[in-house]
Chains A and B, each alone.
Chain A
Amino acid sequence: MTDVMAEMKERKREFKTTVDGIVVERVYSPDDVSENEIAAGLPGKYPFTRNIMPAGYRTRLWTMRQYAGFATVEETNKRYKYLYKQGQTGFSVAFHLPTQMGYDSDHPLALPEVGRVGVAIDSLKDMEDLWSGIPLGEVSTSMTINATAPIILAMYIAAAEKQGVAQGQLMGTVQNDLLKEYVARNTYIFAPEPSMRLTTDICGYCAQNMPKWNSISISGYHMREAGATAIQEAAFSLCNGIAYVQAMIARGMDVDSFAPQFSFFFAAFSNLFEEVAKFRALRRMWAKIMKERFNAQNERSMMLKFHVQTGGCTLAEQQPLNNVVRVTIQALAAILGSCQSLHTNSYDEALALPSEEAVQLALRTQQILAFESGVADTVDPMGGSYYVEWLTNKIEEGVQKYIATIDKMGGAQEAIKKGYIQREIRRSAYNHQKAVDAGEQVVVGVNQYTSEEQPALELFEIDEGVAKKQLERLSKLKSRRDSDEVQQVLDRVRQVASSGENIMPVLIEAVKAYATVGEISDALRDVFGEYKEPSVL
């Protein structure tokens, strides 16, 4: 029998999960997995390989959270209300680049970018109007904001207060993960040290004042998008997570006082089993790190909770409808991997910002998976599969190797300073590109099964009048506020920034005086300076 099997000719010499990936065998059997491993894993029990909650989606489905924001707050507020009506259960704010980089919309560098990749927020007034008619005490909001996260969180707190909602009631997340910005996403303003101080200021403030708020979302997503493999994504995120925990402990915080508010953000690409195994390995590894390395006592400190977004760079410009299928497989991977919340990409995003119709289809994809497919009816349905259990172990091994290497270098911050993580990711990105160019990695519609004809899509366009409209909002605001008060509060921002005090309280004061994102960022620049990336090529 085995001889016959061995003689069976296969269609490839070797099957692999990813470009520099794991070699997959023909078939898996009980020999590939130890028995106690399968028996040990109950959902809701340490090390949480199968799920952090005992009943998974049977208690509550994942939060369907579509990342959205464009133009001015008026347009985005309309889109949010539309999504809410369509059944979306949480918000995810995309800010335009000037807000992310600490420039007001009237800054020369800002002008070409106003309202493009996200909504323009210059001041508390914009934040108040963004949430007009949406009760902040009842919704949960994720904000993709990093360098200016303290300012934007301060605005959210102040806007909620105006609605009569106390900060302690607020539910949501700020991304607040600067380490990965130096590696992949590139929206840093300050050098790594002051950035780490601001990041931990937020974590400390949330630990004391905002128990329902996730103070950080440690993001592998952007590193994956920049080219990292699944193993690299998992490893570098965990290393960044370790660095943040260490920084908080160095500030004198007890690990269980802040760690339950840490959350993560990962990508789901199209290799279904690899992604599911990655999520399972990540849960197990974070639990072990928190318990064994940091001696956490509270189980909530050990629970890896995470948001998933489907892979933006897997979307092809060619034959864009194929992307609907890719997104479905990737979303399925996230759900089988037991994510807490999910964003599904729109099929037209390699061509433009998504149209309303495409966004709706992306959300419907999640709803069909939730209510028609039955995949959410039992916890971790892949658990016990010889292949998936084996692959989970395999990924854990690969991740562990990277963690050991980075530990030896002195941790994530040092590894980033040395350019190690950046180089590893760039190597993977280039290898992937070469594999696609050579046709070794098939991308349907791109390097195989191509067609000349392209369907005409109705693409979304930003109204060219957006910048003008936002500049009017900004100048109106500036003429109405008390500018002496603004100057005084900006001085206090500088003072607190140069002291070791937590920055959050003075920022809340500053935004309430309607100091703008640009003005407050400039005050911080006065103290911290700006960081220029070292040359990478």
Chain B
Amino acid sequence: MVRKKTRVLIAKPGLDGHDRGAIAVAQGLRDAGMEVIYLGLRLTPEQIVEAAIQEDVDVIGLSCLSGGHLTLFSKTMDSFKERSDKEIIFIGGGIIPKKDITALKAAGITGTFGPGTPINEITSFIKAELEKGSDDKED
């Protein structure tokens, strides 16, 4: 059986323009066989959620290096949960202090990845998390 390709949305909420990491991750996940929608930068949480629902993604990856991650990531996750029941994975990247990771996890983020993270670490993380979620449904 061929399983449906994992669909990932990568986006940058807020005004931050540092997109090297987001683009590298998007390329890396695509090379690993996932379907990646790179939405670009300077987006509102609402715009990201709208696209995520239309594209029916399994993963939303958010990147922010300006320090606005707590507000911007939380808003995106809240807004998604308000509009959809689909169980998806949220991951985040950027300059995120440890203390904030705890807060983001409480708000629903599955994993965060700082500068220097090898891309295959993110790929394996997504695969493992998706398998966890599908264990009770499939196989």
Hey, which bits of chain A sit against chain B, CB under 8 A? 97-98, 100-101, 103, 108-113, 116-117, 181, 185-187, 225-227, 313, 315-318, 349-353, 426, 429-430, 433, 436-437, 443, 446-447, 459, 461-462, 533, 535-537
Contacts and interface: CB of A to CB of B under 8 A. Distances in A.
Interface stretch (B19-27, B84-92, B125-133): B19-27
Contacts of B27: 426, 430, 537
Interface of B: 14-20, 23-24, 26-28, 36, 38, 40-42, 44, 66-68, 71-72, 95, 97, 99, 114-116, 118-120
Contacts of B18: 186, 225
B14 A537 contact: no
A97 B15 contact: yes
Nearest to A350: B115
Contact of A426 (B23, B28, B99, B120): B23
Given A97-B16, A462-B67, A433 B114 contact: no
A447 B118 contact: yes
B119 A113 contact: no
Nearest to A349: B95
A443 B116 contact: yes
B40 A536 contact: yes
Contacts of B72: 112
Contacts of A317: 114-116
Contacts of A426: 23, 27
B59 to A, nearest CB: 16
Nearest to B68: A112
Contacts of A443: 116
Given A117-B66, A350-B114, A350-B116, A187 B97 contact: no
6 contacts: A113-B66, A116-B68, A186-B18, A186-B19, A226-B20, A315-B115
A318 B40 CA distance: 28
A185 B17 contact: yes
A111 B14 CA distance: 9
Contacts of A181: 17
Contacts of A112: 14, 68, 71-72
Nearest to B72: A112
B20 A313 contact: yes
A164 B106 CA distance: 53
A488 B57 CA distance: 49
B12 to A, nearest CB: 9
Contact of A353 (B23, B26, B67, B119): B67
A109 B44 contact: yes
A232 to B, nearest CB: 14
Contacts of B120: 437
A537 B15 contact: no
Contacts of B119: 433, 437
B20 A316 contact: no
B40 A429 contact: no
Contacts of B26: 537
A352 B17 contact: no
Contacts of B67: 113, 116-117, 352-353, 462
B104 to A, nearest CB: 14
A211 B114 CA distance: 44
Nearest to A422: B23
B24 to A, nearest CB: 5
A537 B116 CA distance: 22
Nearest to A462: B67
